């Protein structure tokens, strides 16, 4: 199996892998065969940090999963929405695709939208936001970030775009602001950096 990455959805975790303090809803979700999502955290070799989600925003549980248990993986960039819907967050997927696909970006929906598109479980509601993961292996200028942000402003709901750099993730809106430092989310934790693409800065 290819290396798993943050926001990938994984199938194969079973309730017996949860710690004793895990809530009943988490055990029920795994018993029903629902996927877990890869978290951005360090784990021992052969393991991956994952998160479980319930039906309410308050139902979130952090856990770990043996990589050997993974039977299926779907990355966000494989997910798209096609069809009719009254839900703004799903409508926004098609609108974002029109912008990002035409510019050759590698991207995908995450959060509740990504979970629903991958699993078929209806968790998106009328007030849901659209979370997007945008792969940015090369440094993106603030000017281009501003242009990209502007092109995405007209979508049907609030959108939160995370730029995935080789060192971690940073919010597109924050990077486009021109701030001297931005919050980089990495496996080792979150920290303020001036260049989220700089290995030297992140490793310091």
Which of 199, 201, 145 is CA-nearest to residue 175? 145
Dist. CA 162–CA 164, nearest whole Å:
6
Question: What are the tens digits of pLDDT across the range 105-117?
Answer: 999 999 999 999 9
pLDDT at 154 over 90: no
pTM for this one?
0.92
Q: What is the pLDDT of residues 75-102, one digit of tens each?
A: 999 999 878 899 999 999 999 999 999 9
Catalytic residues: 129, 131
């Amino acid at each position: 199996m290819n290396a798993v990455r943050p926001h990938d959805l994984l199938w194969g975790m079973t309730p017996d892998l949860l710690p004793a303090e895990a809530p009943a809803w988490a055990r029920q979700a795994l018993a029903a065969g629902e996927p877990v999502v890869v978290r951005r955290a360090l784990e021992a070799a052969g393991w991956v940090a994952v998160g479980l989600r319930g039906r309410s925003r308050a139902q979130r549980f952090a856990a770990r999963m043996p990589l050997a248990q993974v039977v299926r993986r779907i990355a966000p960039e494989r997910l798209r929405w096609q069809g009719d819907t009254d839900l703004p967050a799903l409508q926004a997927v098609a609108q974002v695709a029109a912008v990002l696909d035409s510019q050759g970006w590698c991207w995908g929906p995450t959060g509740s939208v990504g979970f629903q598109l991958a699993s078929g479980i209806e968790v998106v509601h009328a007030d849901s936001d659209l979370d997007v993961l945008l792969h940015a292996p090369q440094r993106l200028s603030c000017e281009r970030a501003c242009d990209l942000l502007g092109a995405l402003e007209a979508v049907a709901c609030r959108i939160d775009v995370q730029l995935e750099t080789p060192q971690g993730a940073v919010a597109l809106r924050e990077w486009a602001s021109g701030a001297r430092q931005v919050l980089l989310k990495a496996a080792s934790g979150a920290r303020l950096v001036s260049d989220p693409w700089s290995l030297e800065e992140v490793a310091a």
